[in-house]
Structure 1
Amino acid sequence: MYEGEWKRGKASGKGKFSWPSGATYEGEFKSGRMEGFGTFVGSDGDTYRGAWISDRKQGFGQKRYANGDLYEGWWKRNVQDGHGRYVWRNGNEYVGEWKNGVINGKGALVWANGNRYEGQWENGVPKGHGVMKIQHRLLWGENLNGARKRSSVDGRGSVNEKSFPRICIWESEGEAGDITCDIIDNVEASMFYRDGTTSDCEDSRRKSPCCFSTEVKRPGETISKGHKNYDLMLNLQLGIRYSVGKEASTLRELKQTDFDPKEKFWTRFPPEGSKITPPHQSVEFRWKDYCPVVFRHLRKLFQVDPADYMLAICGDDALRELSSPGKSGSIFYLTQDDRFMIKTVKKSEVKVLIRMLRSYYQHVSRYENSFVTKFYGVHCVKPIGGQKIRFIVMGNLFCSEYPIHRRFDLKGSSHGRTTDKPEEDIDETTTLKDLDLNFVFRVQRNWFQELIKQIELDCEFLEAEKIMDYSLLVGIHFRDDTPCDKMGLSPFLLRTGNRDSYQNEKLMRGYRFLEAELQDRDRVKSGRKSLIRLGANMPARAERVARRSDFDQYTTAGISHLTPYRCGETYDVILYFGIIDILQDYDISKKLEHAYKSLQVDPTSISAVDPKLYSKRFRDFVGRIFIEER
C-alpha cells in the first residue's frame, strides 16, 4: 500500500509504502521506484537509512541489523561496495574497503580487546602483507592453515590478559599457503639499539619505568557527552568520514586545477540525513573540503591508509582536547592512538597553506625526510547559526611507543622564550622553550650530515614562501635507568666518571649505535619499514649544558653558544623532532610587532623578524644544539 505524492500516475516525491510482510519504506520516490533518500525497515527487523537508486541501495547509507550489528558506508546495487565501517554487536569493528558485499582491499579490523589487524583482504579473509598489533597475546597454532587464519581474524582463541603489547608481522601466500609470522614487542620494535635482545629489554622494563611505562601522563582531556566541544567533535568525525568514504574510487592524477584556492566543496549535514550524508545526533551543520584531491595524494605520499585514517579519527574512541601551548588560542585535538593531531586555525592560516600548497606538495614529494609538518587535510565546519571553524589535520610528531619525558618548542630567539610555569608544576606534558633548554644533542656522523642538510633545504623552502615564526619541536625519551619522577627540570645524577670510564662508555655507545643500524638495515632488507629515520626514533646522546637563561650570553644574532659551562653529564636518548607552525607569513601584523618590540629589546632577539633573517638564525641555532658525535 502506498501513501504519498504522485506524478503522472506514478509515485513521485515523498511517500510511504507498506508490504504485506510488514516491511515498510518511507522516503523519496521517482517514477514509481524508491529513489533518493529513504528508510527501509525489513520484516526481519533490519533497518536501512540512506540513498536509493531504482529500488536499490546505492550511495551512502546506514544499516542496523536485528542482531545488533551496524554498517555505515557506501553501497552499490544493494550490497556494500567502497569504504565502509562495520561494527559487530560484540564490539569488534572493521573500517576499510568492500567489494560486492564482502571485505576486500585495504582495511583495519579492531577487536573489542584492543587487538588490531591492518592489511590487505580478499573475499573476507587476510591476504598478502599485513600487520597485527596484539594488546592481549593470541595463542597461535603450530600450523596456520586457511581455516585457522579465519578464526584468528574473527577474534577467537585464548587470550593472555597480562601480556605486554606485541606486534605480529606476517606474510601469507594465500588460502593454502603458510604464514610467516615474526612477533616482536612494541618496546623492542621502537628501538633495537638498546642491546639487540628481547630478554634484556624485559629486564630493563622491570627495573626502569623509563624504558617503557604505561603510567606516563597522557596529555589532554577526553571529549565525552556534555563537553562544550562535543558537538564540534561529532561534526569533525562525520565530515571526515564522509570525505574519506566518498574517495573510494580510483585515485586519478593531479591536475593544475586541483590546487586552485577555489577548489572547495560545501556539503550539508541535516540531523535526519540526506541522500549522501548519514543521520546524526548533532545540530545541522555545513562541511567544507579544501583541495580534497591534493590532500588525498598527500595522505598516500605519507603512507596513511584511508581505513586507518578514518578509524583513528572517526572510530568509537573520542578525541582528546589539548590546552594550547602557544598564544594563538587554537584548540588541539589528538586521536586516541596519538597518530593524528587536529588544530583549529585562523582564516589567514588556511589562505597561507592553500597559497603555498603546490610548492609544499613538490617539496615533500622530492624530500621524503623533510621535517616540515605533514598535512593530511584542511576543512571547515559551520553549524547553523554559528561561526565557521576552520581546522587542519596533521601528523603528531610524538606518536611513539616510548613516553616523551621532555618536550621543547625552539625558535632560535630569546625574548620571552621561557615557560611561564613554576618549576614544581612542570611535568612531561609541559612544552618548554629556548631559554629552558639545557642540552646539546650528539648524533652519529651520517645522521648529523643528513639532519643539517635537510634543515637547510626546509628553511630554503620556508624562506622562499616568506614564512617565519616556525619552531623546531623536540621530544626526548631518556633511555637511562633513572626513575621518571626525577626527569624534571633539574634531574640527572647519572654519569660523570673518570677518563677510563668515559672511554669504555664511548666504546659501548658506538656498539649500541652500530647494533641499531645493522638491525634496522636487516628490517629493510626483509621488506619491512625502517624504524629509525630522521626526526623519529633517532638514537642520540644528550649532553647537559647550562641553560641560556642561566648565563644570558648571546651573539650578535641573538643566539647562545650553549657551551660556556658543561656539567659532563650525558644520557642516552631517543629523539623525535620536526618543524611546526609553518603557516605564518611576514604580514603587516608581524611587521608592526617587530617595529614595536624593537623599541624595547634587541631586535635580533625577538621572534618577529623577516623570513630571510629568521631562516638564517634558525639554521644557526639548530647547528648549535645538534653536534656530530666523534
Structure 2
Amino acid sequence: MSVAHVDDDLDAPGEVYYAEKLLNNGDIYTGKWSDNCPNGQGKYLWSDGCMYVGDWVKGKTMGKGKFSWPSGATYEGKFKNGYMDGEGTYTGCSNDTYRGSWVINMKHGKGTRDYVNGDHYEGEWRRGQPDGQGRYQWINGNQYIGQWRNGKMNGNGTMIWASGNRYDGSWEDGFPKGNGTFRWADGSFYVGIWSKDSREQSGTYYPSGSRTGTFDWDPQDVYSNDLLGCQISPGERISAYPSQKMVTWPCEGEFLQKLPIAKTPKANNARPKRNSVDGRLSNGDGSYSWGSETDAASNSVYSEQPRESSEESRSIRTDDSDNSRGFQPHCIKIQPNKKPGTTISKGHKNYDLMLNLQLGIRHSVGRPAPATSLDLRATAFDTKEKVWTKFPTEGSKHTPPHQSCEFKWKDYCPLVFRTLRKLFKVDPADYMISICGNDALRELSSPGKSGSFFYLTNDDKYMIKTLKKAEVKVLLGMLPAYYNHVRAFENTLVTKFFGLHCVKLTGPAQKKVRFVIMGNLFCTEYAIHRRFDLKGSSHGRVTEKSESQIDSTTTLKDLDLNFIFRLQKVWFQEFCRQVDRDCDFLEQERIMDYSLLVGVHFREVSGSGEPVTTETRNSGVRTPTANADQSGDVSTPRISRADMDLLFDPSGWASIRLGINMPAKAELTVRRSDFEAQLVGEPTGQYYDVIVFFSIIDILQNYDISKKLEHAYKAFQYDPTSISAVDPKQYSKRFRDFILQVFAEDT
C-alpha cells in the first residue's frame, strides 16, 4: 500500500484537501481534510462497522449527517459537536422510529415515535422521555391524550378505551389520582376522588336512562382490569451514541491519498506575528488569531514540560502583553477546592443553639401527621397558625431529655411546609437525618450585609439561615402566593423553603432566633470553581479581594463577572420563560434586592490550576483521560469521574434540570478600562466547557420604608439606576435585562 507524498507547502493552516486516511486503530476516513482533521463533507468508517457520512467541522460531526450502526439502526439529521442535536430521525434495527427534536443525544422538544409493538406517541419530550402535552395510542385502539412527566401519564388527561369508555381527570405516576370522571359508552358516569388505595377512593355513580337492573361495579376495577392493557412501551435503546465514538484529532495513521482542493493565498506583505501571553498570535494590526498546532503546543496548558514561568504568566490572560487593545487585564486561576464553613463542635458559641435546632426539627418532622393533600385550605396559611413546644432539660411527655439549655420551639405554618417538602419530593427520614444526625452543622459567615448566619448540613443538602423578624413577616405574607407559584412551575428558580422555625431561650435573656431551612444549590458531586451573586446593579457590586485571595468559596459580584454563559437552545428558551415567571411573581409580591446565585464548574482544569479552553482541548495536543497515571506530569489535565460519567454515559443527563447540572459554554469577556461600571464585558471568542448551577435567592426583602429611604439617600450621591434599592417594578426589569445578557443561546 503506497502512501502519497504531499508537498510541504500544502500543509499550511487553512488548506483543504480530499484525503483518504487509514488510522492505526483500523478506522478509515475519506473526505475533506484541513488543519490535520476532517473539515467539510466526509465519511468515517469504524473498525466495528459503525459509519458516519456527512458534515465535519474541526474534527467533529457538525451539521447534517447520517450515522449507521452494524445492527442496521440509523440516525439521519442534525449533529452538533459530535452529538445528535437538532431535527433528526432515528430508526432502530427493529424499526422502532423517532422523528423530531434532539438535544445532546436526547429526545427533547417535539417529536413522534412509532414503537416496535405498534404503539404510537406524538407530543412533547424532555430528557429522552415523554414530558409535557402528548398523545399515546396503543395498538389495541386505546389512547391517552393529556399531560406527561418523566415518561408517565401525569397531570390532567383523558384515557379513551376502544370500547368507548373513557376517564377524564387527574393522573399521577401513570394512574388516575385525584378528581376524575369515568364515563361508559352508554352514558353512565362515575364522579369522585380516585386513588389506588381503596380507602382514599370516594365518589358517586350516575346511571344513564338506558341502564336497567342491578349495577355491581368497583372503581378499583379500572386499576386492576381496564389499565392492564395500557402499559407504556419501553422502546429500543440506542446501543452506542455517536458522541461516544468520536476520536480526538490528530490521530496516528497513514494517508492513502491526499489531493489539494483549495489553497489559502498567502499575503506577501503580511506583518510579522508574535505570540501573546494567552497563546494567540498578534497580527500586528490589533487583530488576533490562534496559532498553528505547533504554536499551540508550545503555549498550551497541555504542555508536556513543566513550566517555570511566573504565577501571572501561568494564568489565562485575555490581554496582550502591551495591553494594546485597551482591555483590563484579567486572569483565571482555580484554587484547590475546600469545604466551606466551620464545624460547630462543643465549646462553639452556637453549640447549644445547634442542639436546640436539631431537637426541634426531630420533633416537628417525626411527629405523626395525617396524609396531606396538595390542595390546602386558606386556614393553613394563617400567620397565627403556629405551634409552640417547650423543651425542658429533663424531658417531658412529648420531648426527650437533653443536655442543652431549656428552650421553646415554634413551628410556623407546619402543614404548609410539610406539604412543600412533599411537593419538592423531600423524604422525611432523609431530611431528619441530614439535619439531626450525628454529624455537626457547619457555620458560614454571611457574604452580604444582612448580618444573617448560615448553617450547612454535613451532607451539603440543606442550608439554614437566621432571619430577622421583618423577613419572617414577609415570608408568611407571601406564603400562599409562593406555594401556588412553586406548585404551578416545577422549574421555578426561586429558593426552595422547607421549614420556618423559631428557638426561644428561657431565662433572663429571652433571646429569639428565627431561621428558615432551604435547599443548597451547590449540593453536587461537581466542584464549584466560581460563585457569582448577580443583581444587575453596579454600585458597590465588586469583591474587594485580589486575584490571589479568590478561591472556590469566594462569592463574586456583578462587576467581577467575566463570562457569558451559553445554553442549548431548548434550555435557553425555558430559562427565559422561567425568569419572566419568577420575576413577575416577585414583582407582584413587592420583593426586590434578590439576586441570581450562579455556580460554575470548569469541565477540564490543568494540574497547574488553569481551566482549559475549548480551543486548546480541541487542538489535540493532549487528550485527558480519566485513568491517567497519577504519577505523571503535574501539568497534565485531569477529568473527574463525575465528568467522565457525564460525557460518556448519556443516562447521566437525566439528572439535568433547569439550574441544576446544566452543561454550557462559558465565553470569556473583558471590560474596557474606560468603562468601569460596564456590567457585561465584550466577548473574546474564548470558550470553556462548564457545568452551571443557578437559582434566585434572597427573596425576603420587600420595598419597605427603610429601602425607600435608602433609595432617596443614595440617589442624591450616585446614579439612581446603579443602586440596588429601587422600586420592585424597576428592579424586576433591570434584573431581567441583565440576566438575559449574561445568559445567551449557544448558536
1:257 — aligned with what?
A: 379
1:430 — aligned with what?
A: 554
Q: Counterparts of 1:39-58 in structure 2 under 5 Å?
A: none
C-alpha separation in 1, matches of 2:542 and 2:567: 26
Please tell me whether the aligned partners of residues 269 and 286 of structure 1 are also in contact (alpha carbons under 8 angstroms).
yes
Q: Counterparts of 1:407-422 in structure 2 under 5 Å?
A: 407-422=531-546
Q: Is the alpha carbon distance of 1:551 and 1:623 closer, same or farther for their aligned partners in structure 2, counting shifts above 3 Å?
A: farther
Q: CA deviation at 1:594?
A: 0.5
Please tell me whether the aligned partners of residues 552 and 560 of structure 1 are also in contact (alpha carbons under 8 angstroms).
no
1:291 — aligned with what?
A: 413
Q: Is the alpha carbon distance of 1:387 and 1:195 closer, same or farther for their aligned partners in structure 2, counting shifts above 3 Å?
A: farther
Query: Which of 545, 548, 554 matches 2:669?
Result: 545
Q: Which digits, 9 at most, give the CA deviation of each residue in 1:158-183, with x for residues without a partner? A: xxxxxxxxxxxxxxxxxxxxxxxxxx
Matched to 2:679, the amino acid is: S
Matched to 1:402, the amino acid is: Y
Q: Is the alpha carbon distance of 1:590 and 1:571 closer, same or farther for their aligned partners in structure 2, counting shifts above 3 Å?
A: same
Q: Is the alpha carbon distance of 1:303 and 1:547 closer, same or farther for their aligned partners in structure 2, counting shifts above 3 Å?
A: farther
Query: Which of 381, 385, 399 matches 2:503?
Result: 381
Please tell me whether the aligned partners of residues 222 and 320 of structure 1 are also in contact (alpha carbons under 8 angstroms).
yes
Q: Counterparts of 1:211-222 in structure 2 under 5 Å?
A: 216-222=337-343
Q: CA deviation at 1:216?
A: 2.4
Paired residue secondary structure (2:609): helix
Matched to 1:220, the amino acid is: G
Query: Which of 676, 679, 684 matches 1:560?
Result: 679
Greater helix share, 1 or 2? Answer: 1
Q: Counterparts of 1:105-124 in structure 2 under 5 Å?
A: none
2:686 — aligned with what?
A: 569
Q: CA deviation at 1:553?
A: 6.1
Q: Counterparts of 1:306-345 in structure 2 under 5 Å?
A: 306-345=428-467
2:564 — aligned with what?
A: 440
Please tell me whether the aligned partners of residues 336 and 552 of structure 2 are also in contact (alpha carbons under 8 angstroms).
no
Please tell me whether the aligned partners of residues 436 and 547 of structure 1 are also in contact (alpha carbons under 8 angstroms).
no
Task: Give the TM-score, by structure 2 length.
Answer: 0.50
Q: Confirm or deny that 1:403 pairs with 2:527.
A: yes
Q: Counterparts of 1:477-492 in structure 2 under 5 Å?
A: 477-483=601-607, 485-486=609-610
2:582 — aligned with what?
A: 458
Q: Confirm or deny that 1:606 pairs with 2:723.
A: yes
Q: CA deviation at 1:575?
A: 0.3
Q: CA deviation at 1:499?
A: 12
Q: Which digits, 9 at most, give the CA deviation of each residue in 1:77-107, with x for residues without a partner? A: xxxxxxxxxxxxxxxxxxxxxxxxxxxxxxx
Q: CA deviation at 1:494?
A: 3.4
Q: Confirm or deny that 1:585 pairs with 2:702.
A: yes
Paired residue secondary structure (1:458): helix
Paired residue secondary structure (1:578): strand
Please tell me whether the aligned partners of residues 612 and 688 of structure 2 are also in contact (alpha carbons under 8 angstroms).
no
Please tell me whether the aligned partners of residues 547 and 562 of structure 1 are also in contact (alpha carbons under 8 angstroms).
yes
Q: Which digits, 9 at most, give the CA deviation of each residue in 1:322-375, with x for residues without a partner? A: 011001110100001101000001000000000010000000000000000000
Matched to 2:570, the amino acid is: N
Larger Rg: 2
Q: CA deviation at 1:389?
A: 0.4
C-alpha separation in 1, matches of 2:733 and 2:716: 22
Q: Counterparts of 1:135-284 in structure 2 under 5 Å?
A: 216-252=337-373, 254-284=376-406
Please tell me whether the aligned partners of residues 614 and 689 of structure 2 are also in contact (alpha carbons under 8 angstroms).
no
C-alpha separation in 1, matches of 2:490 and 2:474: 22
Q: Is the alpha carbon distance of 1:193 and 1:257 closer, same or farther for their aligned partners in structure 2, counting shifts above 3 Å?
A: farther
Q: CA deviation at 1:194?
A: 13
Q: CA deviation at 1:430?
A: 0.4
Paired residue secondary structure (1:392): strand
Please tell me whether the aligned partners of residues 265 and 288 of structure 1 are also in contact (alpha carbons under 8 angstroms).
yes
Matched to 2:446, the amino acid is: S
Matched to 1:562, the amino acid is: G
Q: CA deviation at 1:627?
A: 1.0
C-alpha separation in 1, matches of 2:372 and 2:618: 60
Please tell me whether the aligned partners of residues 562 and 624 of structure 1 are also in contact (alpha carbons under 8 angstroms).
no
C-alpha separation in 1, matches of 2:242 and 2:384: 51
Q: Which digits, 9 at most, give the CA deviation of each residue in 1:131-180, with x for residues without a partner? A: xxxxxxxxxxxxxxxxxxxxxxxxxxxxxxxxxxxxxxxxxxxxxxxxxx
Aligned-CA RMSD value = 3.0
C-alpha separation in 2, matches of 1:283 and 1:437: 46
1:353 — aligned with what?
A: 475
Please tell me whether the aligned partners of residues 613 and 689 of structure 2 are also in contact (alpha carbons under 8 angstroms).
no
Paired residue secondary structure (1:381): strand
Please tell me whether the aligned partners of residues 335 and 609 of structure 2 are also in contact (alpha carbons under 8 angstroms).
no
C-alpha separation in 2, matches of 1:471 and 1:497: 33
Q: CA deviation at 1:420?
A: 1.8
Matched to 2:710, the amino acid is: E
C-alpha separation in 2, matches of 1:247 and 1:352: 29
Please tell me whether the aligned partners of residues 476 and 574 of structure 1 are also in contact (alpha carbons under 8 angstroms).
yes
Matched to 1:582, the amino acid is: I
Matched to 2:613, the amino acid is: L
Q: CA deviation at 1:422?
A: 2.8
Unaligned stretches of 5+ residues in structure 2: 1-172, 174-239, 249-303, 305-333, 621-642
C-alpha separation in 1, matches of 2:524 and 2:566: 21
Matched to 1:381, the amino acid is: V
C-alpha separation in 2, matches of 1:303 and 1:194: 35
C-alpha separation in 2, matches of 1:367 and 1:331: 29
Q: Is the alpha carbon distance of 1:404 and 1:601 closer, same or farther for their aligned partners in structure 2, counting shifts above 3 Å?
A: same
Q: Which digits, 9 at most, give the CA deviation of each residue in 1:489-509, with x for residues without a partner? A: xxx5635579999xxxxxxxx
1:626 — aligned with what?
A: 743
C-alpha separation in 2, matches of 1:523 and 1:494: 23
Please tell me whether the aligned partners of residues 193 and 516 of structure 1 are also in contact (alpha carbons under 8 angstroms).
no
C-alpha separation in 2, matches of 1:474 and 1:619: 15
Q: Which digits, 9 at most, give the CA deviation of each residue in 1:51-72, with x for residues without a partner? A: xxxxxxxxxxxxxxxxxxxxxx
Matched to 2:574, the amino acid is: E
C-alpha separation in 1, matches of 2:442 and 2:244: 35
Please tell me whether the aligned partners of residues 440 and 543 of structure 1 are also in contact (alpha carbons under 8 angstroms).
yes
Q: CA deviation at 1:261?
A: 0.4
Matched to 1:593, the amino acid is: E
Q: Which digits, 9 at most, give the CA deviation of each residue in 1:432-476, with x for residues without a partner? A: 000000000011100000001100000000000000000000000
C-alpha separation in 2, matches of 1:393 and 1:194: 43
State the 4+ residue runs in structure 1 displaced beyond 3 angstroms: 192-197, 483-486, 492-501, 515-520
C-alpha separation in 2, matches of 1:432 and 1:214: 15
Q: Is the alpha carbon distance of 1:355 and 1:327 closer, same or farther for their aligned partners in structure 2, counting shifts above 3 Å?
A: same
Count of matched residue positions in the alignment of Structure 1 and Structure 2: 397
Q: Which digits, 9 at most, give the CA deviation of each residue in 1:179-217, with x for residues without a partner? A: xxxxxxxxxxxxx999769xx9xxxxxx9xxxxx99720
C-alpha separation in 2, matches of 1:275 and 1:306: 23
C-alpha separation in 1, matches of 2:367 and 2:514: 21
Q: Is the alpha carbon distance of 1:472 and 1:523 closer, same or farther for their aligned partners in structure 2, counting shifts above 3 Å?
A: closer
Matched to 1:552, the amino acid is: F
